[in-house]
């Protein structure tokens, strides 16, 4: 089913046609709807409102006016639609990946020799050097549920980093259900093998998450999800905080995986469990706030490492209780 | 878990398997399977975390499906033969369905997908029980209905299991998954000779259980679940690395270790029955298993991997004492000279 959708998407070549909306595929189900949400479906900025807001916030935001939204097409170019070519390219791509998969199996885990995998102490998993690196991420905000926050992801200066920026609005959607709103997030895509088979990362030999970021001085959250086949575990994740300094220097954030606490549907569970890293699935970095503000963070790379000083296996219960206390004291 | 409750559950597991092995009534056999399944679930979830829960759920779903298929085959057999006794399954449909159900319980290809996932999600002790004790009941039923099993289906499943077991284990760094794929391959060897000489299946099962017990106990002893942590064993207990080397090579079927005995006997039996290509293919595919065992021994025993402070943390914990380890190591490595005694099995 995923492959069929991919093939249909192939007919909308080079992001020049509007993507078929999820609502037009009711038979595909919610699980598939998650797959359909794509970083390419970034909401186009409303020129009038966005420019008036950003003009008051300095040169960095002023550059936004010169950015071209991904879904705007040049009126002189005609979109090329070739169904046969798209199918052939897609099939060729998948069989090529299958061949690589089989060949890499002889070489070792993840296509690298075993001794290399066993001896490495740090691995950069995501870095931002071009547009193709942005495609590995999904940017989302409460606009999907009717809110008014906006978030965008673009390449930073000199193509060495990615810039996540936008506005957060605490205006709740008028649906009668939501009482709070105002979030944005960048979430890594699920790794896929040939024929869109679900894959996961094996980070069992690492114990720390390493990020190099330059934020806006506000706290962000880092969420990790494990690969699962059971739908009841869809909303379970492990979270921790990332406090950004605000620049202008890069900040190296090291979060041991033992610090991550377990939560289900956004609520921290009393029973905490060790984060098992052999089926690492997705990394997300959401930000929420109760005021109407802009948010901004640059990301240089995300990696995992094994520093010699980190030996703890899982977060202690006391750490979770401390978090709850702080949250209650600060007025929202 | 409360020791009394744990003992009761463990006894139920043992009782379930015993009922299956000793019964001649199909309904009792099915009851034995269900008792075994329901009692093993809390043992799999003994060290509770979301991953264990997921593994137990997957195990329950696959085994319940297999039990359902088994019951369907039993009823079809009852309709055609009019009896509940496990003498011979006359109806070919019932035979095929029963074979599929038992293959699902054993983890034979193409019903093998649950084995690595479940084994990876549970603790080492639970994995030990899953890959050894839980194989006895379905294998005993296969032994009893072996005269009426479709040879083509069984041999196809056997060969595919050996291939999948070898291919799937190639890329693994998780020890439990390696043992799971090893189990799939060994099940393939057992079922390949089942129709020709069921006694050799039992011999293979016995030696496989000894070797798997030894491996798991060595992993528990060194508290290792990944290849990396096993490669640091030399830092704490250097003797364990030698024992791991011997046991892994025995599992790979290298002479003069015990693991060579069942493979030798099976190839000899298949050759006696004018089957040349099949044992050749099986022997070639067994090299895949040997390859990843060798890779494991290379990183564990033949080289000294650089240790970090994380590994030195293990020095602070007392080594777990496992009483049965010495006799198991002896039996899993030194039994080959007893091979001439196997003539008494004929």
pLDDT band with cut points at 50, 70 and 90 for residue A69:
very low
A278 to chain B, any CB pair closer than 8 A? The answer is yes
Across A233-255, average pLDDT? 86
**pLDDT tens-digit series, residues B247-275:** 999 999 998 999 999 999 999 999 999 88
Over pLDDT 70: what percentage of chain B? 97
Check A236 against B50: CB less than 8 A apart: yes
**Which one of B49, B57, B174 has the shortest CB-CB distance to A273?**
B49
Q: What is the pLDDT of residue A294?
A: 57
Residue A26 has pLDDT above 60, yes or no: no
Candidate from A93-107, B8-22, B159-173 with smallest mean pLDDT: A93-107
Over pLDDT 70: what percentage of chain A? 60
A195 to chain B, any CB pair closer than 8 A? The answer is no
Three-class SS state of B218: helix
Q: Are B185 and B292 contacting, i.e. CB atoms less than 8 angstroms apart?
A: no
Residue A9 has pLDDT above 60, yes or no: no
Nearest CA in chain B to A230: B54
State the nearest Cα–Cα gap between B266 and chain A, in angstroms: 28
What is the ipTM score, two decimals?
Answer: 0.82
Q: What is the pLDDT of residue A309?
A: 55
B46 to chain A, any CB pair closer than 8 A? The answer is no
**pLDDT tens-digit series, residues B297-333:** 998 888 888 776 666 667 777 777 777 888 999 999 9
Give dist(CA A152, CA A167) in Å, integer: 9
**Which one of A106, A204, A308 has the shortest CB-CB distance to B310?**
A308
B49 to chain A, any CB pair closer than 8 A? The answer is yes
State the nearest Cα–Cα gap between B180 and chain A, in angstroms: 16
Q: What is the DSSP letter of A97?
A: H
Q: Which of A236, A256, A274, A276 to mutate to test the interface with B (most CBs of B within 10 A)?
A: A276
**pLDDT tens-digit series, residues B198-251:** 999 999 999 999 999 999 999 998 888 888 888 888 888 888 899 999 999 999
HSE of A78 in the Cβ direction (CA atoms, 13 Å)?
3
**Which has more pLDDT, A279 or B294?**
B294
Task: With residue B70 as reference, give the H or E element that holds it.
Answer: helix B50-81
Residue A45 has pLDDT above 70, yes or no: no
Check A202 against B173: CB less than 8 A apart: yes
pLDDT band with cut points at 50, 70 and 90 for residue A39:
very low
Query: CA–CA distance from B146 to each of A13, A229, A257, B101, B243 (Å)?
Result: 58, 35, 51, 14, 36
**pLDDT tens-digit series, residues B71-102:** 999 999 999 888 898 877 778 899 999 999 99
pLDDT band with cut points at 50, 70 and 90 for residue B335:
confident
A105 to chain B, any CB pair closer than 8 A? The answer is yes
Which residues in A60-182 belong to E strands, given as ranges? Answer: 122-127, 137-141, 150-155, 162-168
A305 to chain B, any CB pair closer than 8 A? The answer is no
Three-class SS state of A186: strand
**Which one of B117, B225, B308 has the shortest CB-CB distance to A308?**
B308
Check A105 against B170: CB less than 8 A apart: yes
Candidate from A162-176, A304-318, B160-174 with smallest mean pLDDT: A304-318
**pLDDT tens-digit series, residues B102-153:** 999 999 989 999 999 999 999 999 999 999 999 999 999 999 999 888 899 9
**pLDDT tens-digit series, residues A264-277:** 888 888 888 878 87
């Amino acid at each position: 089913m995923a492959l069929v959708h991919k093939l249909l998407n192939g007919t909308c070549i080079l992001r020049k046609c509007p993507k078929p909306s999820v609502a037009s595929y009711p038979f595909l189900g919610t699980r598939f709807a998650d797959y359909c949400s794509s970083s390419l479906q970034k909401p186009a900025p409303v020129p009038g409102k966005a420019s008036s807001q950003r003009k008051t916030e300095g040169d960095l935001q002023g550059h936004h006016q010169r950015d071209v939204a991904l879904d705007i097409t040049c009126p002189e170019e005609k979109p090329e639609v070739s169904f046969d070519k798209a199918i052939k390219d897609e099939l060729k791509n998948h069989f090529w990946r299958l061949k690589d998969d089989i060949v890499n199996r002889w070489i070792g885990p993840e296509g690298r020799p075993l001794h290399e995998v066993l001896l490495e102490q740090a691995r950069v998993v995501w870095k931002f050097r071009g547009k193709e690196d942005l495609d590995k991420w999904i940017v989302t905000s409460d606009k999907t549920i009717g809110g008014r926050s906006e978030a965008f992801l673009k390449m930073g200066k000199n193509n060495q980093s990615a810039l996540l920026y936008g506005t957060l609005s605490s205006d709740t959607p008028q649906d009668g259900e939501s009482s709070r709103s105002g979030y944005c997030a960048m979430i890594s895509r699920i790794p896929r093998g040939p024929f869109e088979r679900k894959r996961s990362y094996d980070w069992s030999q690492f114990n720390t998450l390493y990020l190099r970021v330059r934020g806006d001085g506000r706290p962000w959250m880092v969420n990790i999800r494990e690969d699962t086949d059971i739908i009841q575990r869809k909303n379970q994740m492990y979270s921790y905080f990332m406090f950004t300094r605000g620049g202008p220097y890069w900040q190296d954030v090291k979060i041991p995986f033992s610090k991550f606490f377990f939560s289900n549907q956004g609520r921290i569970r009393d029973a905490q469990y060790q984060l098992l890293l052999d089926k690492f699935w997705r990394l997300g970095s959401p930000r929420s706030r109760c005021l109407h503000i802009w948010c901004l963070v640059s990301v240089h790379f995300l990696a995992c490492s094994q520093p010699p000083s980190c030996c703890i296996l899982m977060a202690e219960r006391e750490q979770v209780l401390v978090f709850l206390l702080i949250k209650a004291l600060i007025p929202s | 878990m409360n020791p009394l409750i744990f003992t009761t559950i463990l006894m139920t597991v043992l009782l379930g398997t015993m009922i299956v092995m000793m019964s001649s009534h199909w309904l009792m056999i099915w009851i034995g399977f269900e008792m075994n399944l329901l009692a093993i679930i809390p043992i799999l979830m003994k060290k509770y975390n979301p991953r264990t829960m997921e593994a137990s759920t997957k195990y329950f779903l696959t085994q319940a499906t297999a039990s359902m298929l088994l019951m369907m085959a039993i009823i079809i057999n009852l309709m055609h033969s009019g009896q509940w006794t496990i003498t011979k399954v006359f109806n070919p449909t019932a035979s095929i369905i029963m074979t599929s159900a038992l293959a699902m319980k054993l983890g034979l290809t193409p019903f093998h997908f649950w084995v690595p996932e479940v084994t990876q999600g549970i603790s080492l002790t639970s994995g030990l029980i899953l890959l050894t004790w839980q194989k006895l009941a379905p294998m005993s039923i296969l032994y009893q209905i072996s005269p009426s099993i479709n040879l083509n289906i069984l041999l196809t499943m056997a060969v595919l299991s050996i291939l999948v077991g070898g291919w799937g284990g190639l890329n693994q760094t998780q020890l439990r998954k390696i043992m799971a794929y090893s189990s799939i391959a060994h099940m393939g060897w057992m079922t390949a000779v089942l129709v020709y000489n069921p006694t050799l299946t039992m011999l293979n099962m016995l030696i496989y259980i000894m070797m798997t017990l030894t491996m798991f106990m060595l992993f528990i002893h060194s508290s290792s679940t990944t290849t990396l942590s096993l490669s640091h064993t030399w830092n704490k207990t250097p003797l364990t690395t030698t024992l791991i080397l011997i046991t892994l090579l025995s599992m790979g079927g290298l002479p003069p270790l015990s693991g060579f005995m069942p493979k030798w006997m099976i190839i000899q039996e298949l050759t006696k029955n004018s089957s040349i290509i099949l044992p050749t293919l099986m022997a070639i595919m067994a090299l895949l298993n040997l390859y990843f065992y060798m890779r494991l021994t290379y990183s564990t025993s033949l080289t000294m991997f650089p240790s970090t402070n994380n590994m030195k943390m293990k020095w602070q914990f007392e080594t777990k004492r496992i009483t049965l380890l010495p006799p198991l190591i002896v039996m899993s490595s030194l039994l080959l000279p007893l091979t001439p005694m196997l003539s008494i099995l004929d």
